[in-house]
């Protein structure tokens, strides 16, 4: 890195300071939009059930969150 001064940016919303660059960088409204409210949930399952759950995720090519969300939504549909 050369002797150029670094610029720090103060975010529009509360958060951490960020480096300012001439081009690019985070923009208001950029990025993937959320699909809902995020809550952390702890689930206790047997080793066999976890194994089957993870195997099914692999078969479907989805994350654990996606499979869990799909199962819950299917169960709760009227």
Note the pLDDT tens digit of each residue in 29-65.
Answer: 777 787 888 889 899 999 999 999 999 999 999 999 9
Closest CA to 67 of 54, 78, 49, 77: 54
What pLDDT is attached to residue 42? 93
What pLDDT is attached to residue 28? 77
Structure tokens at 2: 């050369």
Q: Residue 14: is its pLDDT beyond 70?
A: no
Structure tokens at 28: 């208001």
The domains found in the chain, sorted by start residue, are: 43-78 (1.10.1220)
């Amino acid at each position: 890195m050369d002797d150029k001064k670094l610029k720090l940016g103060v975010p529009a919303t509360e958060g951490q300071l960020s480096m300012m660059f001439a081009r690019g960088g985070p923009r208001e409204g950029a990025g993937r939009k959320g699909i809902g409210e995020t809550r952390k949930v702890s689930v206790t399952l047997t080793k066999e059930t976890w194994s089957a759950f993870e195997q099914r995720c692999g078969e479907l090519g989805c994350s654990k969150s996606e499979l869990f969300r799909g199962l819950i939504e299917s169960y709760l549909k009227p």
